[in-house]
Amino acid sequence: MGDQPLVDFAWIMDHLDDIALRLVQHVQLTIIPVFLGFVISLFLAIWAVRQPRVYGPIVAISGILYTIPSIAAFAFLIPIFGLTLITAVIPLTTYTLLILVRNNASGFAAVPADVLEAAEGMGYTRWERMRRIELPLAVPLMVAGIRLAVVTTIGLATVAAILGDSFGGLGQFITEGLQTFFPTKIYLGAVLSVALAFLADFLIIRVERRLTPWATARAGRV
């Protein structure tokens, strides 16, 4: 790496197109898994609320999936799906499950029992109660889970670059920088993925405020 500067700004200015492309790819590598993971874990959490017995096994299985190292998981899937986006998305999705299932289930568990009884007393059906009482009240913990899942996935997605550059995202800069000993690319990928994580976190907090206007009344607490 010798004499070249750690960051070559001229190179960055010359490659803004590439940067935009990788950013879009990275957002795609994050949104698809978190969305899929959230939908799956929402169903799992609702199931666990109805049938408390299944909660333990669900968390145990998500825990096992979570322990599989990402490059190992990619390795398992390459023979089936090849070097494709599907291979990248499946492990990234399963990693979100542990976080999201726990938070979604805790969100439902955090709904006070007397609120539920009041809803029953008012003649809500199970479905109405879920939609109008439990889901909205579970939002804060669900969003906390989504925030963690998004930030984690943005980080993990950098490793997906080893699968190929047609969807590699910001990790592509890091991998190429490492292979060609060009530190500018390494730092560009690193800084942008951190910046993306912060931006995403900030945006989710804003959306949460919209979704739970009643919570704004208690704002000011850390």
User: Is 33:92 a contact under the CB 8 Å cutoff?
Assistant: yes
Number of amino acids touching another protein (CB under 8 A) = 65
Is the CB of 133 or the CB of 156 nearer to another protein? 156
Is the CB of 119 or the CB of 151 nearer to another protein? 151
Whole-angstrom distance, CA of residue 72 vs CA of residue 153: 16
Tally Cβ neighbours within 10 Å of residue 86: 12
Task: Please tell me whether residue 127 binds another protein under the rule CB under 8 A.
Answer: no
Query: b vs e for 100-135, b when ≥16 Cβ sit within 10 Å of the residue's Cβ?
Result: bbbbbbebbeebeeeebeebeeeebeeeebbeebbb
User: Is 24:108 a contact under the CB 8 Å cutoff?
Assistant: no
Task: Please tell me whether residue 136 binds another protein under the rule CB under 8 A.
Answer: no
Collapsing DSSP states into helix, strand and coil, what is residue 169? coil
Residues 78-107 that bind another protein (CB under 8 A): 79, 98-99, 102-103, 105-106
Whole-angstrom distance, CA of residue 203 vs CA of residue 205: 5
Task: Please tell me whether residue 61 binds another protein under the rule CB under 8 A.
Answer: no
Is the CB of 117 or the CB of 128 nearer to another protein? 117
Among 31, 69, 126, 132, binds another protein (CB under 8 A): 69
List residues near another protein by CB under 8 A.
Answer: 1, 6, 45, 48-49, 52-53, 55-56, 59, 63-64, 66-73, 75-76, 79, 98-99, 102-103, 105-106, 108-110, 113, 140-141, 144-145, 147-148, 151-152, 154-156, 158-159, 162, 171, 174-175, 177-178, 181, 183, 186-187, 189-190, 193-194, 197-198, 201, 221-222
